[in-house]
Structure formats: C-alpha cells, structure tokens
Structure 1
Amino acid sequence: MSYSGEFLLQLTQRCKKLPKQMKQIHSLIITNGHLLHHPNAPSSSLSDQWMPTLLYNALISGYHIHNHKALLLFTHMLANQAPPNSYTFPPLLKSSSLPLGTILHSQTLKRGLLSDPFIPSTLLALYARNYFLPHARRVFEEFPMFCIAMCNAMLNAFSINGHMEAAVALFERMPQRDVFSWTTVVNGFALNGKFGASIRFFGKMMSHKDVVQCLVKPNEATYACVLSSCANLYGQAALDCGKQIHGYVVMNEAKLGVILGTSLINLYGKMGSLSNAEKVFRAMCVREVCTWNAMISSLASHGREKEALDMFEKMKLHVLKPNSITLVAVLTACARGNFVKEGLELFRSMWHDFGIEPIMKHYGCVIDLLGRAGHVEEAAEIVRNMPFQPDASVLGAFLGACRIHGAIELGEEIANKMLKLKTQHCGQYVLLSSMNAEKERWDHAADLRREIMEAGIQKIPAYSMVHWT
C-alpha cells in the first residue's frame, strides 16, 4: 500500500516517543521512496521539494536519544542531497560529544544557519556542558543581535562552569529578562554550593519590578531551586524561609505540582518537620516516583522506619515502578530499623522484581544493615563478592561494624585486599590501625601503618575551624 509523504510525516511527529512505532514508520518511508531527493525533477508543490528534508528532520528528532542512529540518518540525508535546514541540527547537537559537535558547528556555518537563535543556543549549551567556556562565549558574542534565549543559554554556561560573577554581570546588562533568566541565576548559585546567595537572589527577584509589575512570575522550577538551597542550608532561618515560600505558593498557586511538592517534602524532611512533609504529600493531586522517594527518605531519616516501609508498599499499590533512589531509601530504612530479613530480601530481588542492578549505594546500605545487626561474617562475604571494588562508604560501614563487634581479623582481611589493590581509602586503614591499638595489638597496628606508607597511600590532613554565630 502506498502512503503519501504528508501522511507519514504526521505519523512520525506523533510517534516520536514510541521507538517501536518509529521503526515501523521509518520502514514505510523508505519503501515508499520518500527519502530520495530529486532537485531537478518537476514537483507539484514546494512542500514536495522539501518533503525528504522534513521527513529526515522528523526521524532525526525521533532518534536523537540514540545518537548513532540520528547521525547515520544525517549522513544518508547528505548522500541523498536532501538539504539540511535549521531544524536538522539542534537534535543532533543535543546528544553529541565535543569532537562531533565541532564538525556539526562547521556544517551550520557553511550552510549559513547561525542566524536562527535556536542553533547557536544549542551550540553554546554543547560547549558549556563540555566545559569549553571560551568556545561558548565566542558563539554568544558572534550572534549579531540581542536575544533573550541566547543570553539565558550563556547565563547557564557561566553557571555550570562556576563563573557566577560573570553570570550576574551578564544578567545585569540584559535589557530584558524572563523567568528563565532569574531561575538560571538562582539555580546557578545553588549548583556552585552558594545556597545563601541563591536565596538572596530569589529575594531580589521577588522585590524587583519584573515581579512586582507582573512582568515576570516565578514558576515551579524557580521555587524548586530556592527550596533546594533552603534544604541544603539547614537551621531555623532556612526552614522559616522555606515556609515563607510555601505560604507564597499557597496564596498564588492553584495546586502543588510534582516538582514543587517534592521540593517541599524534601525541605521539610531534611529539617525534621515531618508533619508538614506529610501535609504536602497528602495535598498533592499527582505524585510521581520522586515524590514517594522524598517521603520515604524523610521517614527513614527520622526514626520512622516502619512507616517508610509501609509507604513503599503503598507506592507499589499505585502501580509506580521504584527506581534506584527508592531502593536506597528503603534499604536505609531497613538498616536503621533493624529489619534485616526485609532488607536482604529486597536487596536480593532488586533485579528480578524491579530490573535494577545494585550499585555502590545499595551495597553500602546492605553492609550497614548487616553490620548494625552484628552479622559481620555475612557482610564480609558480600564485600568479597561485590562486582566492583568497594568505595570509602562501603569500607567505612564494614570496618565500623568490625570495630563495634570486635571482628578485627575480618577487618584486616578486607583491608589487606584493599592494600594489594592500592586503593586510596586512607581513612579506613587508619580506622583499622586504631582498632588494633584499642585492643593493644601494637604490632598489628604498626605493621598496618607501615604497609600503608609502603603502598604510597597518603593520610589526608585534618583541619579545625571556628564558626562565629
């Protein structure tokens, strides 16, 4: 059966997020000959001349998360003489590595496509995420006119590369700003660990004429950024600031979205205000996996481990698939609540039940679970059989359990293996040496310290700090 190019183009645009259907439509486009470009052939309409380009663009956009497939389509596009346009390059650039990105950059320059702000802003983002800030700045400076989208992309480039002074300077020079401009700077301070500055900049936004005169209104992402900064500062002042933002949202927003609601739960959970976290959770009309994760983590972190496990069961009843973060939160609850059986069953069934391969954090949780319960031998067996080298958190949890339960020989066995691998977890070796000293095993302590020095492992020097309040 023959299908028109217009019909297949509509299908492609509708099925971009459906990989199986995209492959079927791709096959129909090929078999119907719509990807062949004949520049000198007579055409009934201008759309017929551009149909191969339009179809290639739609396919590239649909395949761009699989970069190799999108690139293969792009090479076929060039081979079939279908001319790329300003819609061809952004999806390719979004998933490209730096060397390939520079080649695509030269293609856009050769074809005179850099006047469309969407392409330069995507190029700018490519260089920024690869930490080539001078290249990003050059793309920005070569754009011939003021464009708020380009300015926002440059603000983000400065932010992710840690140049917040330059970001603020550019922000101040911008003749116009939108909510994305303000949010990018608020988030930029948070990304660089300047949480107080993030909150202060949000305060500046709320008192600025852009907001007062209703030219700009904070969106869900803005609130989420500043609430994250509050959660990372701790203390009553940060909690009060978060409550004020919550109050403003309630007064000005119709409902709590997923991002905003999850941010509030995370804030209240970190601050120990579980009653407020639960109120937000109940008030949300829509809850995603991240929302449940925040609530489970909050309960697990404040002595309500059984409720955290019950929340996990309720989550599964809502037909939501737990992710890796969910299982870290649940395993943490099991460790702190001494639910050894439940924790081990969950850990051993992660792949079978949820399709999740255990990562380092999951191993750290289960070692902590067994260590707290005194099952040091079983913990050692898991450490021995890990599919990758244990990191400092796993070793710390294991050696901490060895110290509490007096299993020094087991600790030495694991530490000796780490020494042979010349891992650089100096704190764990020093801990083991101290354990030997506590038991007055002076020879063992001295031997271990000598082996540490011979392995070239440097002890990280400590420091002291006076904090004025």
Structure 2
Amino acid sequence: MNTTTTTSFPPHLKPGESSTQSTLPSKESQKTILDILNTKCSNSLQRLRQAHAIILKTGHFQDHYVSGTLVKCYANHHFNNFGFAIKVFDYIPRPNVFVWNILLKGCLENNEPCKTLSSYYEMLVMNSRPNKFTYPTLFKACMAADGVKEGKQIHTHVVKLGLNCDAHIKSAGISMYSSFGFLREARQMFDGEGESDIICWNAMIDGYLRHGDVEAAKELFETMPDKNVGSWNVMISGFARCGMIEFARELFNDMTERDEISWSAIIDGYIKEGFFKEALEIFHEMQRENIRLRKYILSSVLTACANVGALDQGRWIHLYIERNSITVNAVLGTALVDMYAKCGRLDMAWEVFENVKVKEVFTWNAMIGGLAKHGRAEDAIELFTKMHRENLKLCGITFVAVLNACAHAGMVDRGLVLLNSMEEVYDIEPEVEHYGCVVDLLGRAGHLAEAEKLINSMPVKPNAAIWGALLGACRIHGNVEMGERVGWTLLDMEPQNSGRYALLSSIYAKAGKWDDVTKVRKLMKEERGIKTVPGSSMVDLDGKVHEFKMGDGSHPQTREIYLMLERILERLHIEGYSPNTSIVSFDTEEEEKETALRYHSEKVAIAFGLLNTKPGTTLRIVKNLRVCEDCHSAFKLISQIYNRDIVMRDRVRYHHFRYGKCSCKDFW
C-alpha cells in the first residue's frame, strides 16, 4: 500500500514534518484539530483542504488520531475524492489499527469491496494487529464482493484471534453467511461461543426469510428473549418479500411501537405484490400519525401513485418535497418523472426531468418510456439520440423504451435499424425483451409473416411474451390460421394465464367460430379451473382512488352512476354510436352482447367522472386491461359531446381523447 505517489502536499514540508519541529503539538491543539475535522469539514471539501494544510504545518500529521480522521474525511463518498484519501494514507508513518480500520471502512463505503480485502492483506503483511472493529467491515466487504472463499478465511482469523465471541462480529458474520445461502454455517455462528445479542437474532431471522425458510424464521422470532422494533421490521420485510403480505400486515398491526422503517416495509410490501391502493391507505395512516416522510418512503409512495393514477396524491408529495426543501436526487426525480408520466401529465414529467440536476441512466429511461407510452415516438427517439450524444452509457432498458416507442407509432424501419444497431454500434447484445418489442412492432403494422420469421430466427429462445405479442397481432388483423397455431402453443406454455385463453377466444369469436370458442372456454374453466382477470378501472378524484368493476355495486353512488351511464349512452346513440358487438367472445343474442358492452368498467368510470366533476375538467382513468374497440369508439364520441379531455391509461399505452379524436390515431 505504501508506494511512492504524487500528492499536493506543500513542497517545503514532508508529511509528518512541521515548520516548528522543536515543540510537539499539545493535547489541547489535537482536540481542537479533531473538532474542526469532525464538525467543520464534513460538508466542505475546501474547508477540509484548509484543515489539511494546518495539520501539516503544525505537525499534527504524526498523530494517528488526527491523520486517520483526515483520511476518514477525504473518504467521505459525497466528495468523490477517495483516490486522494488513499494518497494521504500512503504518507502516514507506521499506521496503527485505528488508521487501517478507517481505510477499510472508507474502501467499503466507496464501493471498493475488493480494495477493502486487499488492504486487509497489506495490513497483515505490515504486522498491524486487527481488532474487533476490523472484522465487521471485512465481512460486509466479502458480502459485497461475493467473496465466499475470502469470507471463510477471515472467519478463521477471527477464531484464531479469539474475537468470535464479539456480538458485532457475530452479527456481521451471520449476515455474510446468510447472503451466500450458507444458513447452516450462519446458524453455527449464531449458536457458537459468546452471547448473541438482539442484532444477531435479527440477522439470523433475516437470513432465513431471505432464503424462504419462513418456519425457521417464525420459530426463532417467537423464541427471542427480547425483541426490538428492528426484530418486527425484519419479519414484516421478510414476509412481504416472500409474498405473504397478509401475515406482514398482521404483524404490523400487532406492533406496539413503529419507526419509519416499519412503515416503509409494509408500504414496499404492498407495492411489490401489486396492492397499490392498500399502500396508499397505509401512507395516509402514516400521515395521520405525523411520521416524518423521508426520501425512500416518498419514492415508494410515488410508485403506488403512478400505478393507480393517483395524480392528486402524487402532486401533494411533490409539493411536500418543495416545501420541506428535500433535495431531488436521481432516484426521487425519476420517481416523480414516472409518476407524472403514468398519471397522464407528460408536461409535468418533462419539467421535473429538466430540473433534475444529476440525471442517471434510469432517469432518462423513465422519460423515454413515458414519451413512448403516450405515443410521442419522435420525441422519445430525439431524447434517445440526445442521451447518446451526451456520452451516457445506454443500457438494455433504454432500448426497450425506444423500441416500444417505435411499436406504438408503427415505425417499422426505424425499429429494425435500432435493433440491428444495438450490438454493432452500442455494444449491447439484444435480449429476448428487445426481440419481443420488434415482434410487437411488426405484428401491429400487419407484417405477421415477418414477425414469425424473426421469432424463429432469434438467437435466444422465445418466451411466452413474444408469442403473446404475435397472438395479439393476429387478433388485430384477423389472422385466424396463425392465431390458432400460436394460441395453442401459448396455452401449453402458460396454462394458468387467463389472458391467453381470452385472446384466443376473441380470435375465434371474431371469425364466428363459436364451437372453438366453447372448446377454449371449457378447457379454461372446467378442465383447468382458471378464472378470468376481471376488468377494473380507477379514477382519482380529490386525492381518493375510486375503483369500478363490471357488476360490482359496492360504490356508495352506484345508483346515480348507472343512471348517468344510461343518459350518456342515450346521447351516444343520438350521435350515431352503435355498439361493436363483434368483439363479444360468446355466442348469444345481439341484445345480450350490447348489455355486456354497456357495463364495461371504463364506461362506469367515465359516468362517475362526469357525475362528480365540473364541466371542462379533464377526466383520468386507469384500466388494468387493454381498452376494447367499442369503449375506444365511445370515448372518442364522449370527449366531443361533453367537451372533455379524457386521458385513459390501459395495460399497454395512453389514449388522449379530445374533440372526438384519440392521440393513438386508432393504432393501438
């Protein structure tokens, strides 16, 4: 480690040498210097350099506490100056264990876990004896570097030095072994010499849960002699991670004391399982409890807002961020961009994007993806080009976003050029998701044979999503022969996916092949017992999300909503609207087909919106499935009759209805 390097030390002074060598620094001056380093230099690199100069001039650099603290300050990852921290360390004469520990921790905090381990080796070579503060950092470094072999070796050093009874070392070792999946070794360390404190218990429980051993975690939790908030948080996070959100909620409700992590854990759990409304309800409860809202919680809640179209709640969070002067970093900025884009406010998404000072690749991806789903393909490609011009390292997700933009705009040639350029120009090997986008692009544009040819020539094995894109194209373009072949292939690949049965049934129904419709429905419901996913539509009104499903009469305004729907349909008929019954995938009387179309969830949602908002108010609807042709035609006419802007987000893209037209230009 102590090799010759160049530094910016004053040329007339050598490290450790003072201009007044006749007197050694006093304890009082040492304390003053340490106070300056710890209180004045944590946020200012300029002040740190000034303090550094004083330390050199006064001879305090010889003091390991001072020189070690100086290294710690330079190693602050906010300064992005870790290389200089190492140079300072290299000039420290005979660094003691305190200084070495600071270097090891600095390496880890600056995402240099391998450097942490190599520095430990040099520490041993230089005969500096590690202590109990050395090994927790090393175990964490092994976790970060996936250093299984090194972790075991370091564990043997701990045992040889007689430090295996230290609780901090034990908890770090348990976490390390658990991260490798070595639960037996983790448990041996937990049960070994020395008392396991509450942190060790929590680490062992977390290890079990991370590897799906719920019963072992529950048993350990129930036998804990003492529990703290962290113990409950570990269980809640673990249950949520294992998909057991009901059990996580029960534990959350049973807690007598909660902290910010408790709230964050249950909110994240609901979001992970797709229960976005429930996540928002917890967030509202959290607000009533006056819990401080930190960045990581706000980012999570913005994700929930994005998925249910809760624009009012998302805007409130944005205002909260501004009022409380919370710094909008790349993560929080990206969450805001994604929320506004998914809530139909592309203008506000763009404004946030422009104001994020340090944009990461994922920030650009969010904006490109938002433009793509709103049908703004040219703008998405322009932003993609700008991203490349600014020498940002593009990733696979970037290409998924821009290829989707081409698919939604029917830009076949541009999409094919982008796919072919991925490896040649950008050194990114296309993956199955990229081929899926291009299959979707070709299929939507009616090039079904080319799409199937691409699938058969792909260097990667096509998955169900790719065949699903082709099946959707077969339905759009009425290709029954190919649709039948692809559809039955998909039913073998994903026998539990109700959407595949519905799509194949729709293809048969459109062609009037009712016997085949019956065959598919019988296979789905009677033989395989699969239930269809009910269509649901959500409307955000005054900060509350209202959800509507076909045949659900639970809303307190149900009677008024359905009366309003009848009035809307009457006006539509006067204007020449005729229900598109060809999309109904069961053989019945025409009147029954019209009734089925009448109560689609998005029509009920639009009736609620018109009933509860002032004239001219933009209506925003989020649907969990694709919007059908009949509802799409009806919404165009409603926007004209009622002079309303309607923004609908279906499962794939956005539709902006205005003056009787849709932004998708009937291409979706």
Q: Summarize the alignment of residues 242-281 of structure 1 with structure 2, pairs less than 5 Å apart.
A: 242-281=314-353
Preserved contact between residue 155 and residue 170 of structure 1 (Cα < 8 Å): no
Task: Tell me, yes or no, if the aligned pair for 1:124 and 1:140 is still in contact at 8 Å.
Answer: yes
Does 1:462 find its partner at 2:513? Answer: no
After superposing the two structures, state which structure 1 stretch, 347-356 or 431-440, moved more.
431-440
How much has 1:300 moved relative to structure 2? 0.9
What displacement does 1:270 show? 1.0
Is 1:230 matched with 2:305? yes
Query: In structure 1, which of residues 93, 101, 107 is the aligned counterpart of residue 175 of structure 2?
Result: 93
Identity %: 31
- Indicate conservation of the 8 Å contact 1:376/1:402, yes or no: yes
Q: Is the 8 A contact 2:478 2:510 kept in 1?
A: no
Equivalent residue of 1:112, what SS? coil
**Cα RMSD (Å):** 3.8
1:170 corresponds to 2:251: no
AA at the equivalent of 2:551: V
Distance 2:422 2:153 in 1: 37
Conservation of the 8 A alpha-carbon contact between 1:331 and 1:343? yes
Aligned pairs for 1:351-370 within 5 A: 351=423, 353-354=425-426, 356-370=428-442
Distance 1:417 1:77, change over 3 A: same
Q: How far 1:202 moved relative to its partner? A: 2.0
CA distance in 2, matches of 1:275, 1:254: 22
TM-superposition CA deviations, 1:208-246 (whole Å, max 9, x none): 2xx3xxxx5210112122222222223xxx222222222
Indicate yes or no: 2:171 matched with 1:105. Answer: no
Q: Could you list the runs of 5+ residues in structure 2 that have no partner in the other structure?
A: 3-93, 535-549, 556-668
The separation in 2 between residues aligned to 1:259 and 1:81, in whole angstroms, is 43
Change (3 A) 1:431 1:229: closer
> Size of the alignment, in residue pairs?
435
What is the alpha-carbon distance in structure 2 between the residues aligned to residue 349 and residue 458 of structure 1? 44
The one-letter code matched in structure 1 to 2:304 is: S
> Which AA in structure 1 matches 2:395?
N
Matched residue SS, 1:83: coil
1:366 aligned partner, one-letter code: V
Q: Map 1:306-455 onto structure 2 (within 5 A).
A: 306-351=378-423, 353-354=425-426, 356-405=428-477, 424=495, 428=500, 435=507
- AA aligned opposite 2:440: D
Matches of 1:269 and 1:193 in 2, distance apart? 19
Q: Within 5 A, what are the aligned runs for 1:142-291?
A: 142-145=223-226, 147-160=228-241, 161-162=244-245, 163-171=247-255, 173-174=256-257, 177-208=258-289, 211=290, 216-234=291-309, 238-291=310-363
Q: Are residues 438 and 193 of structure 1, via their aligned partners in 2, closer, same or farther at CA, if it must alter by over 3 Å?
A: closer
Closer, same or farther in 2 for the Cα pair 1:170/1:258, shift >3 Å? farther
Superposed CA offset, 1:190-213 (max 9, x none): 3344333322322222232xx3xx
CA distance in structure 1 between the aligned counterparts of 2:461 and 2:499, rounded to whole angstroms:
16
Alignment partners' CA distance in 2, 1:231 and 1:360: 26
TM-score (norm 1): 0.77
CA distance in 2, matches of 1:255, 1:81: 45
Structure whose CA Rg is larger: 2
Residues in 2 aligned to 1:167 and 1:26: alpha-carbon distance in whole angstroms: 42
The code of the aligned residue for 1:72 comes to K
Tell me the distance in 1 between the aligned counterparts of 2:292 and 2:512.
Answer: 66
* CA-CA distance at 1:132 after TM superposition: 3.1
Which is richer in helix?
A: 1
Hey, what's the Cα distance between the residues in 2 that align with 1:267 and 1:138?
40
1:18 matched to which residue of 2? 112
195-204 or 12-21, larger mean C-alpha shift = 12-21
Q: Is the 8 A contact 2:107 2:116 kept in 1?
A: yes
Aligned to 2:153: 73
Instruction: Give the unaligned 5+ runs of structure 1.
Output: 35-46
Aligned to 2:605: none
